[in-house]
A and B are shown apart, each in its own frame.
Chain A
Amino acid sequence: MAKRKNDDDGLKTFSRRTVLIGGLQVVGLGILGGRLAYLQLVQGNRYKMLSDQNRINIRLIAPPRGLIVDRFGVPLALNVENFQVHIIREQARDMRASLEALRRFIFLEEHTIDSVIEQATKIPKFLPVKVKEELTWEEVATIEVNLPELPGLLIDKGETRTYPFGLTTSHLTGYVGAVSEDILKAEGEKQPVLSLPGFKIGKIGIEKQYDREMRGKAGAAEMEVNVVGREVRELSHKDPIPGDRITLTIDAELQRYAHEVLSKERSASAVVMDAHTGAVYAMASHPGYDPNLFSRGIPRNIWKSLQEDSSLPLMHKALVGQYPPGSTFKMLTAIAGLEHGIPAGRTVYCPGFYMMGKDKFHCWKPEGHGRVDVITALQKSCDTYFYTIANEMGIDAIAEVSRRFGLGEKYGFDLDDERPGIIPDRAWKYARFGERWHRGETVVNAIGQGYVLTTPLQLAVMTARLVNGGFAVKPWLTAQVGETVRGVESWPKIESARDEHLKLILTGMEKVVNEPGGTAFASRITEPGMEMGGKTGTAQVVRITKEQRRLRVKNEDLPWEQRHHALFVGYAPIHAPRYVCSVVVEHGVGGSRAAAPIAKELLIRAQSRDPASMTALYAQPEQGGAILPPAENETHEDMGVPERKSGLIIPGVKPKRKAGPQ
């Protein structure tokens, strides 16, 4: 009986505790259900977002950079597909073996192999590492054929910025280069495309000026990735928007020709410009450099030698070079005189020098020019005449006219580093040196020496304003950015400019070239209807010593650095001026012998090509293509741009075979 009772007690305890356990189990499951509901309902959206962040990687697709083309659509900067060989660690059984095998087919340096292996081990094993780019077609073919022996290697295509005209357009196009840390820091947030490996941005020239426009918009592919980052599939795809095409006012052929003509000199620059619109047709500085070297990463030694070269190949002298204008300045002194009230018929006797008090100022011709008026003074470049009138009117009158005709100012030109030059007056000198102006300085500056400094571009602008009827043109280089047409067709008239004054000046400039006794008579253009007018200039670099004057030392016998700069400004045709041209030959001894012949060639070529009359400039190009004058065309798909076989010469670009394995 007791045992029975005992058992019952035990059973009661058991039942009670079992029910308790069962209750606890159900409560436990309830807690789990509640937790699940909390995670999935209350926190669901947050976790959904986190899950998407986990699995979705945005892969940027680099946009093709906008082209730079000349006024006819001839490409000056384009993207050329180039073949690269990559290696994928995961697919190479032994990376070193694969790379050593590759070495049998293409040139690879030992340290390249090491650095490739090092790079590859730092990134996920399924990502490719570039081994070599710029493969020739033969190399590509060889690698393709031997791929079975080269596990892990693959051929891929990339784009290289290429400048078909090379150094001819180097100072205009500039070049692209890798994104610097600073820029990445400043803009990387808004422009993630900058951080793409191999992405290049404009470093100088038009490439820099319109970099943002040419960059385009990156496309993006939403890639689903797994936990180690391997792409599993593409969820969405947005194509990149190519960058804007930049159309320059430049005529590439004229530009190329300008370089060719200038390259006979050691260091020279020239500008050919439209007298009425200000559009720049050619703007060349010699020597140039090959921008293709820069866009591919320039070897250090070449960079160093470019920097150390005394003829400054990296400098765009037509824009940045500041030279005393020498006698090319005399037109402005003449106009200042006329405006000051010095009559047109005024004559001055030139005995070969000018005395101001005790100071003697030499004319360039020791024998003197005899009696000269303003026209003859210009024609023969008589210094004495300009000494005389300058002394009568003072420096401020000359400076004021100079500024009106475009000297001493920046135009907001489309390239960096534009220089203002110097047009001195009393206020300038006081501000600069804290000293009073001396009358002697007036006469020196009146013939474009002394403090006066001008750039070749300014000299072209000055000439344009003189020959276009006194309209204040400014130079411009960019005709079109994407779809937006730029440029100015009409300019305000310079208020003080009087037609009768300008006519006198033009007559003088006409005689400089076209009449015997004119300083540039030897460089006259004889083709009817193409005749040019102009003015020579010879700018002293170092003072001519009395000793040299007495011994009649020829300037060309001095060391190069001490020789005079040779200048010429010209325009053509004389009766309806359209093209103006300025030429500066550094240390070219004399304007008539060094600069005028160059201007002659340029103006002949400019008139025969007559870019101003051609309307191709504003035609809308089709996407990716370029407008070219009609010719028997062979389209090369790998260039992305049709290219002419004859007629226009595009240096540096040889026809390429069709891409891809065959």
Chain B
Amino acid sequence: MIRDSLFLSPEQSMIQRFLSLNWVLVILLCCVMAVGVIALYSAGGGDLNKWAGNHFVRFMFGLGIMMIIAMVDVKWWYRVAWPFYIGVFILLILVEIMGHIGMGAQRWINLGFIQLQPSELMKIAVIMCLARHFHGAGPEQTRRLTFLIVPAAIIIAPVGLVMLQPDLGTALMILMAGAGLVFIAGAPLWIFISGIAAVLTAIPIGWQLMHDYQRQRVLTFLDPESDPLGAGYHITQSKIALGSGGMYGKGFMQGTQSRLNFLPEKQTDFIFTLYAEEWGLVGGIALLVLFALIFIVCLRIALRCRHNFGRYLAAGLTINYSLHIYINIAMVMGLIPVVGVPLPMISHGGTAMLACLAGFGLIMSCHVYRHSKVTR
């Protein structure tokens, strides 16, 4: 009875476990959330009800969920990995079908209080499943190519579905985070090297096969600023906003680029631009340092975990979020082509926020239950 309960294990009481949450991580997450609320308050033109208030409420709700998830024994998460993955996969298919039945292309299911985006949950599900798959595997197994067929399937199936939506950004994120986990789990290096090499050799061949207009499209995608009034408009305006922020920024609520709507999607994908325009280099670097600290704390959790499932889960999720952050910020700075990837915890968006905090809940569960004996 007691052993089967979700929360109670003989070693620790509820209170002990609550106290053993990683509070440094909780505080860091709250700081990032605060930045998000401030930026969204400004994006909403000083209207709390527009985005900022909503964001705060979701965060608090998500924080609760995170703590609950953290206090659930990691063994239980090990057990639900596959059912969860399959459930989310069905949801993804459902969304796809609904889109075809005439509700237009859509990526979410309306649950009333939240518009659930299965693709956000899929990111977690993929990592959970991969962690579970690699949990019992030793290096010899991992180095066997046949052992990598299942992980490949775990990754490719949802990527394919998300691509169909079509949501290239999310698909790439799932692919890259999954590959990252496979790398960490010890898959032979030559797979990655040859994969990269294959892509590199495919590029010139594909280039030769393309029509001129297709090449033009690819070029504009890679260098949007060559088309400043079309594809490059957003990125140009984003760079103007960032650059004009200067050292100390234009001040809270003073970002002209965003306030006057020169900035697109300022509450979602381009929220970092708004923030850095108003708070300058000082504010921007502060946020980057916050992110860096979060990564370090999370990877430390992964390294200190005593079971493979926890290690892979924590490290995989960390890779996932760091990729999001890196790609989003690099995109708004014009370092990489524009792909629709939100900035975790700061961009406005319900599912992303909840999925993100749930993910951190899992990481923290790996922290609380680092000594758990997870068996196959």
Name the distance in Å between B217's Cβ and chain A's nearest Cβ.
25
User: Which residues of B sit under 8 angstroms from A41, Cβ to Cβ?
Assistant: 246-247, 281
Give the complex CA separation of A51 and B238 in angstroms: 10
Give the complex CA separation of A7 and B241 in angstroms: 51
Which residue of A6, A17, A36 contacts B138 across the interface (Cβ within 8 Å)?
Answer: A6
User: Which residues of B sit under 8 angstroms from A112, Cβ to Cβ?
Assistant: none
User: Which residues of B sit under 8 angstroms from A50, Cβ to Cβ?
Assistant: 240, 243-244
Instruction: Tell me, yes or no, whether A224 is within 8 Å of chain B by CB.
Output: yes
| A18–B303 touching, CB < 8 Å | yes
Instruction: Tell me, yes or no, whether B54 is within 8 Å of chain A by CB.
Output: no
| A21–B262 touching, CB < 8 Å | no
Evaluate whether A25 and B246 lie within 8 angstroms (CB atoms) in the complex, with A33-B288, A51-B256, A226-B260 already known. no
Quick one: closest A residue to B282, CB to CB? A40
Interface size bracket, B side:
35 or more
User: Which residues of A sit under 8 angstroms from B133, Cβ to Cβ?
Assistant: none
User: Which residues of B sit under 8 angstroms from A22, Cβ to Cβ?
Assistant: 295-296, 299
Give the complex CA separation of A40 and B272 in angstroms: 14
| A18–B184 touching, CB < 8 Å | yes
Evaluate whether A227 and B315 lie within 8 angstroms (CB atoms) in the complex, with A17-B184, A21-B184, A46-B243 already known. no
| A36–B281 touching, CB < 8 Å | yes
| A14–B311 touching, CB < 8 Å | yes
| B260–A40 touching, CB < 8 Å | no
User: Which residues of A sit under 8 angstroms from B318, Cβ to Cβ?
Assistant: 21, 25
Instruction: Tell me, yes or no, whether A488 is within 8 Å of chain B by CB.
Output: no
Evaluate whether A227 and B243 lie within 8 angstroms (CB atoms) in the complex, with A13-B139, A13-B186, A25-B322 already known. no
Q: Which of B238-294 contact A (CB under 8 A)?
A: 239-247, 256-257, 260-262, 276, 280-281, 284-285, 288, 291-292
Instruction: Tell me, yes or no, whether B29 is within 8 Å of chain A by CB.
Output: no
User: Which residues of A sit under 8 angstroms from B247, Cβ to Cβ?
Assistant: 40-41, 44
Name the distance in Å between A35's Cβ and chain B's nearest Cβ.
5
Interface size on A, residues (CB 8 A): 42
Which residue of B139, B243, B284 contacts A9 across the interface (Cβ within 8 Å)?
Answer: B139
Name the distance in Å between B154's Cβ and chain A's nearest Cβ.
19
| B326–A54 touching, CB < 8 Å | no
| A17–B183 touching, CB < 8 Å | yes
Name the distance in Å between B303's Cβ and chain A's nearest Cβ.
6
| A39–B333 touching, CB < 8 Å | yes
Instruction: Tell me, yes or no, whether B171 is within 8 Å of chain A by CB.
Output: no
Instruction: Tell me, yes or no, whether A10 is within 8 Å of chain B by CB.
Output: yes
Instruction: Tell me, yes or no, whether B142 is within 8 Å of chain A by CB.
Output: yes
Instruction: Tell me, yes or no, whether A576 is within 8 Å of chain B by CB.
Output: no
| B330–A40 touching, CB < 8 Å | no
Instruction: Tell me, yes or no, whether A122 is within 8 Å of chain B by CB.
Output: no
User: Which residues of A sit under 8 angstroms from B292, Cβ to Cβ?
Assistant: 25-26, 29
Instruction: Tell me, yes or no, whether B335 is within 8 Å of chain A by CB.
Output: yes
User: Which residues of A sit under 8 angstroms from B299, Cβ to Cβ?
Assistant: 18-19, 21-22, 25
| B138–A28 touching, CB < 8 Å | no
User: Which residues of A sit under 8 angstroms from B186, Cβ to Cβ?
Assistant: 10, 13-14, 17
| B333–A36 touching, CB < 8 Å | yes
Instruction: Tell me, yes or no, whether A15 is within 8 Å of chain B by CB.
Output: yes
| A18–B302 touching, CB < 8 Å | yes
Main secondary structure of the interface of A (DSSP, over half): helix
Give the complex CA separation of A37 and B333 in angstroms: 11
Name the distance in Å between A350's Cβ and chain B's nearest Cβ.
90
Instruction: Tell me, yes or no, whether A32 is within 8 Å of chain B by CB.
Output: yes
Name the distance in Å between B131's Cβ and chain A's nearest Cβ.
12
| B244–A48 touching, CB < 8 Å | yes
Give the complex CA separation of A3 and B185 in angstroms: 17
| B262–A54 touching, CB < 8 Å | yes
Instruction: Tell me, yes or no, whether B329 is within 8 Å of chain A by CB.
Output: yes
| B329–A32 touching, CB < 8 Å | yes
Name the distance in Å between A309's Cβ and chain B's nearest Cβ.
54
Instruction: Tell me, yes or no, whether B319 is within 8 Å of chain A by CB.
Output: yes
Name the distance in Å between B173's Cβ and chain A's nearest Cβ.
15
| B139–A32 touching, CB < 8 Å | no
Name the distance in Å between B358's Cβ and chain A's nearest Cβ.
21
Evaluate whether A228 and B243 lie within 8 angstroms (CB atoms) in the complex, with A14-B186, A18-B184, A36-B281 already known. no
Instruction: Tell me, yes or no, whether A225 is within 8 Å of chain B by CB.
Output: yes
Beyond A36-B276, A44-B244, A44-B245, 18 extra complex contacts between A and B, CB < 8 Å: A10-B142, A14-B186, A17-B186, A18-B303, A21-B183, A26-B296, A28-B322, A32-B326, A36-B333, A40-B243, A40-B247, A40-B280, A41-B246, A48-B243, A51-B257, A54-B237, A54-B262, A224-B256
Chain A to chain B: the 10 pairs with minimum beta-carbon distance, closest first:
A47-B243, A51-B244, A226-B260, A6-B138, A13-B186, A227-B261, A48-B244, A39-B243, A22-B299, A47-B244
A-B contacts, 22 listed (Cβ < 8 Å): A6-B140, A10-B137, A10-B142, A21-B183, A29-B292, A32-B330, A37-B281, A40-B280, A40-B281, A41-B246, A44-B246, A47-B239, A50-B243, A51-B240, A51-B241, A54-B240, A54-B260, A54-B262, A55-B262, A226-B262, A227-B260, A227-B261
